[in-house]
Structure 1
Amino acid sequence: MKRFLTFLLIILTAILLVGCDDTPKNKNKYTQHVFYLQDAFSIMPVIDIRVPNQYLTKAKKEQLENDLNKIVLNLDKKFNIQNRGDGYKTELMKVNENAGIAPVKVSEEVIKILKKAIEAAELSICESCDNKALFDPTIAVVWDLWNFTNNYYDELEDNRTNPPADEDIQAALQLVDFRKIIIDEENSTVFLAEKGMKIDLGGIVKGYAADKVKEYLLSQGVTKAIIDIGGNIHTIGSGVANDGKDRSWRLGLQTPFAGPFNTLPSIFGTYIIDDLTIVTSGIYERYIKDEDGNDYHHILDPRTGYPFDNNVVAVSIITTNSMWADALSTSIFALGLDEGMRKIESMDGVEAVFVVKNGDSYEVYISSGAKDNFIYNEKMNDYKYAFKGVYKGE
């Protein structure tokens, strides 16, 4: 049941694959193989490759599946901070347990990803909010209070839960400060300066996993693939059209809150890419509902301990490196449309698609470099959506 629900989540996740029907019946030179890997990072990774006919022997396919599982499970054993149920303590668990006590020896990968998370935090320092970071990997101690993992709202069950007490949130906020993460690269240690601090790299490690899977597949001669690590989509090369010719991948961006209980179209737009990654952060993926019907999404503001209230509904980042896209999707979301889009326009090789709420309607904006690759779904106009094109600033 868990695997079915996980697979269903993947299908309904922030980005849906559309187009490029490459089943064997198309009689082209490529065959599709899909690998459903073992659960890691609380999701089931899906790897969809296109290889020349006769490329995969049974032994080769088993080797690929085994190696892919090893990649994601090894990362899970380093970065997962949730109770695994097997008594195993990951490297990050040990770092958190020793906060304010002693430095902990960690692998090179942990330091690498932690440094990237700190870079994203520095990028999110807000000019208009006393130079505080709006993305902070030490927000985990506050996130735990909300317990989104166990309390997220299910329309079928209509399960309601109230937010944590404000006094508890304010106390936990005193432990949120990425500047108190002390990395000693010479001795390969990480130390959290205050007891009770906690880091969670779940918002960036899935992107890193997608990058590692891509690197491995390329080493095995795979030239066309879709990699889905919990909604972090990475691609290798181009897709394949029904006639066997190369065609760019067409990735559908999921309409926020679309689902079986409403008539919203499943995608509000399509993004055309080759050999790039696309990662989305949105408020509709996991949220709780209180007894009064108020929604609280899972992207928390490190300044307040409460969900961001900046009218941003979703941000999709398109670039070459999935780990960086993962970090950016959250930090750019936190900055909001105006400041976030200015950050995007200042970076080479990075594009964005924003969905923002305006009263009871929704507006879609894109960065300047996305205009030739984003196709808006005109049917959304019937659902109080409007495509505003390239964002020009306030």
Structure 2
Amino acid sequence: MSAWIADSAHMGMGTVMTHRAYGKHAEPSLRAVEEEAHRIERLLSRFLPDSEISRINRTAGGAGILVSDDTWAVLEQAVRFSSRCQGCFDVTIAPLAALWQEGRDRSRPPEQAAISRLLPLVNYRDLVLDPCKKTAGLRRKGQSVDLGGIGKGFAGDKFVNIFTEYGVTSAFSNIGGNVVALGTKPDGSPWQVGIRHPRMNHALIGSVAVSSKAVVTSGDYMRCFAGPEGYRYHHILNPSTGYPSDSGLVSVTVVADSSTTADALSTILFLAGMEKGLALLRGFPGTGAVLVDKDLLVHVTPDLKERFRAAESIRTVVWD
């Protein structure tokens, strides 16, 4: 088996992706995965002018456009998550995301007036999907879609499908912190996925043992900046307020069968906060979470009790 190990690393979807596969067809499977990553990015990135998402955004307020099956699928799932999770997830957040990106570039939060002007444009119900024609569009001019909270998860599920098609039964992909693990390691042991410490560089709060699972973390330490008053402004925006979430959580890791589900739920729970988030999680059987509050106390859901291993000096509590 050792002769059939293949590794690869490449840029894609705005991040570094790394992969490892075991088996006779490991190398061609990784080439196919890299090609798939670039294909998905060409469909879903709002930063690429020729992507289907960019075309939807440019035609906002007009007729919907014909989209591919993959773009349709990820948009349909995004709307479903938004509907189920009471406004804690909204792919029409792009106008505010762009505004806050300008703020990060200047290390200064946007003016309240600018946020108030754009906030009415954020409404997933204005994303119109026609299941018969397979078209997608936005009702109002100025609206736009950003799949940053679900797109990498969707890609992870696609990668697993490709590995399976190539007969690979043991593989691992890290999509900028979104991890998908197929099967176990070749020796039968589970994959150990580290969870980053939200306040210490190059440190972990612990690791979770998984096989054929996705592990996705959302935290306030990515794409953040300190404003003039020293307050930390991060990239996970509350669709209701237009400001970075202040739910009492600083990191949320979700473990699920589906990478798409884990990606969306990590954002949803981060925005919802501890109590509401755990209540929402009960609607997704077989899905677990590790949540870190502002006091750096780590909360673990019961189904991960035996799989989560805390790092030294990390305080943990297991929910009933």
The alignment's TM-score, normalised by the length of structure 2, stands at: 0.95
Q: Please provide the CA RMSD for this pair.
A: 1.8
Is 1:388 matched up with 2:317? yes
Match of residue 195, structure 2, among 234, 253, 267: 253
Distance 1:124 1:254 in 2: 26
Aligned-partner residue type, residue 72 of structure 1: A
Structure 1 residue runs of 4+, over 2 Å off?
Answer: 28-32, 63-66
Tell me the CA shift for residue 65 of structure 1.
4.0
- What residue in structure 1 maps to residue 230 of structure 2? 293
Distance 1:65 1:91 in 2: 25
What SS does the aligned partner of 1:352 have?
strand
What SS does the aligned partner of 1:228 have?
strand
Aligned-partner residue type, residue 376 of structure 1: A
Is 1:135 matched up with 2:100? no
- What residue in structure 2 maps to residue 21 of structure 1? none
- What residue in structure 1 maps to residue 5 of structure 2? 32
- 1:79·1:201 contact (CA, 8 Å) conserved in 2? yes
Distance 2:299 2:142 in 1: 40
- What residue in structure 2 maps to residue 147 of structure 1? 101
- 1:345·1:367 contact (CA, 8 Å) conserved in 2? no
Distance 1:323 1:163 in 2: 30
Aligned-partner residue type, residue 77 of structure 1: R
- 1:310·1:336 contact (CA, 8 Å) conserved in 2? yes
Match of residue 76, structure 1, among 41, 49, 53: 41
Tell me the CA shift for residue 30 of structure 1.
6.3
Q: Note closer, same or farther for the CA distance 1:30–1:237 as it changes in structure 2 (3 Å cut).
A: farther
Tell me the CA shift for residue 111 of structure 1.
1.2
- 1:124·1:334 contact (CA, 8 Å) conserved in 2? no
- What residue in structure 2 maps to residue 365 of structure 1? 299
Match of residue 47, structure 1, among 2, 19, 25: 19
Tell me the CA shift for residue 379 of structure 1.
2.6
Q: Note closer, same or farther for the CA distance 1:66–1:239 as it changes in structure 2 (3 Å cut).
A: closer
Is 1:345 matched up with 2:282? yes
Deviations 1:110-142 (A, max 9, x none): 1110011111111220xxxxxxx1211111111
Unaligned runs of 5+ in 2: none
- What residue in structure 1 maps to residue 144 of structure 2? 198
Match of residue 225, structure 1, among 163, 167, 171: 171
Tell me the CA shift for residue 29 of structure 1.
5.1
What SS does the aligned partner of 2:16 have?
coil
Distance 1:295 1:232 in 2: 23
Tell me the CA shift for residue 151 of structure 1.
2.7
Match of residue 100, structure 1, among 61, 68, 75: 61
Deviations 1:38-67 (A, max 9, x none): x2211122111123xxx35xxx73x33432
Tell me the CA shift for residue 348 of structure 1.
1.1
Tell me the CA shift for residue 80 of structure 1.
0.5
Is 1:268 matched up with 2:205? yes
Aligned-partner residue type, residue 230 of structure 2: G
Tell me the CA shift for residue 202 of structure 1.
2.1
Question: Which structure has the higher relative contact order (CA within 8 Å, separation 6+)?
Answer: 1
What SS does the aligned partner of 2:128 have?
strand
Aligned-partner residue type, residue 190 of structure 2: S
What SS does the aligned partner of 1:201 have?
coil
Distance 2:236 2:280 in 1: 19
Aligned-partner residue type, residue 89 of structure 2: F
Q: How many residue pairs align between the two structures?
A: 320
Distance 2:4 2:95 in 1: 46
Aligned-partner residue type, residue 363 of structure 1: L
- What residue in structure 2 maps to residue 305 of structure 1? 242
- 2:226·2:233 contact (CA, 8 Å) conserved in 1? yes
Match of residue 189, structure 1, among 132, 135, 147: 135
Deviations 1:83-132 (A, max 9, x none): x4xxx51101010000002211111111110011111111220xxxxxxx
- What residue in structure 1 maps to residue 216 of structure 2? 279
Match of residue 84, structure 2, among 98, 120, 123: 123
- Kindly name which structure, 1 or 2, has the bigger radius of gyration based on alpha carbons: 1
Unaligned runs of 5+ in 1: 1-27, 126-132, 153-159, 261-265, 381-385
What SS does the aligned partner of 1:146 have?
helix
Match of residue 269, structure 2, among 332, 352, 375: 332
Distance 2:230 2:6 in 1: 44
- What residue in structure 2 maps to residue 378 of structure 1? 312
Distance 1:370 1:346 in 2: 16
Tell me the CA shift for residue 291 of structure 1.
2.1
Distance 2:288 2:173 in 1: 19
Tell me the CA shift for residue 31 of structure 1.
4.4
- 1:81·1:93 contact (CA, 8 Å) conserved in 2? yes
Deviations 1:146-188 (A, max 9, x none): 116x836xxxxxxx61111110100100101101111112111
Distance 2:290 2:254 in 1: 7
What SS does the aligned partner of 1:35 have?
strand
Distance 1:147 1:285 in 2: 13
Aligned-partner residue type, residue 272 of structure 2: L
